[in-house]
Amino acid sequence: MTDFLMTLYPWLLTGHILSFVAWMAALFYLPRLFVYHVEKGRGDAGKEALFQVMERRLLKAIMTPAMIATFVFGLLLIGTGVVDWSSVWPWTKAAAVLAMAGFHGWCAKTRKALAAGQFERSGRHYRMMNEVPTLLLIVIVISVIVRPF
C-alpha cells in the first residue's frame, strides 16, 4: 500500500495543499462575517437573514468539505511513509492542525448561536478571534517548511 501511495505522492500533496488553502480561506472569512453580523445585522431582519445564509453556506459548502479533504489527503500522505515521527515538527504540525479543527468547531457553534439570535459577543471579540487561524497557519507552515524543531 505504501508503494502505491508513494506513486500518487505528487497528487496527494497537491490535493492536501489545495484543500488546506480552501479551508484557510473560509476560516479567515467566517469570523469576519461574524463581525459584520453582530455590528450591522442585529435588529435588521433582512441583513440578519442574509448573514445567516452566507455563514451557513460558507460553513457547510466550503469550510467543512475542505477540512475533511485536508484530513483525508493528510492521512494519505502520512500513509506514504515520508513523515519522520521521531522528529518534533510533525507533532507541532499535528497539534496546530487539531487546534485548527477546534477553531472550526468554535466557528460552527458560533454560527448556530448567531442564527438563534444570541448576540453575546462584540464585533471586537470576533475580530480578535479572526487572528487565531493566522497564528496556527504560521505554526503549521514553519513546522513543515523550516522544521526548526
Average pLDDT of the chain to the nearest whole number: 95
Q: What is the pTM of this model?
A: 0.92
What domain range is 121 assigned to? 2-146
Distance, CA of 124 to CA of 84 (rounded, Å): 41
**Which residues does 23 contact at the CB level (< 8 Å), separation at least 6?**
63, 66, 67, 69, 70, 100, 104
As given in the structure block, the three cell numbers for residue 136 are 496556527
Distance, CA of 134 to CA of 62 (rounded, Å): 18
Each residue's pLDDT tens digit, 88-129: 999 999 999 999 999 999 999 999 999 999 998 999 999 999
| Number of structural domains the chain divides into | 1
